[in-house]
Copies of this chain bind each other. A is one copy, B any other.
Amino acid sequence: MANVYDSAHDLEKALQESDEYKELKTAYDKVMQDETSKNMFDNFRNTQMELQQKQMQGEEITEEEVEQAKKVVELVQQHEDISKLMEQEQKVNALINEVSRIITKPLEELYGVQEQ
């Protein structure tokens, strides 16, 4: 019987060695190596995080803020390296979501069978 922590570290290593993660790292490094794209990406992330935080705290998000956020998204989407980075982020997120689905299956099965 494998230990949970050993298995988790094996999985961590497998994720780190996956094409998805490696390509994310390449895309991230490329954006970070250029001052303009780095600033644009940082600005994008900060805007996203501020809005997310407001949403979580139940604060109102103004129409102006929504418009501003849309503009920032449009801007980064037109930037080849940043849009590539965002694409790779989505791929790694999808992989991690799939992994989460797999490892929480026993819990879902436990709570799923008898409730229905």
- Is A78 part of the contact surface with B, judged by Cβ < 8 Å? no
A17, chain B: closest CB distance, angstroms: 5
B11 near A7: Cβ-Cβ < 8 Å: yes
- Is A16 part of the contact surface with B, judged by Cβ < 8 Å? yes
B16 near A7: Cβ-Cβ < 8 Å: no
- Is A86 part of the contact surface with B, judged by Cβ < 8 Å? no
Q: Known contacts being A24-B110, A92-B107, A110-B28, is A102 close to B17, with CB within 8 Å? A: no
**Chain A 1-34: CB-based contact to B (< 8 A → 1; otherwise 0):** 1111111111111111110010011001000100
Binding site for B on A (CB under 8 A): 1-18, 21, 24-25, 28, 32, 42, 58, 92, 95-96, 98-100, 102-107, 110-111, 114-115
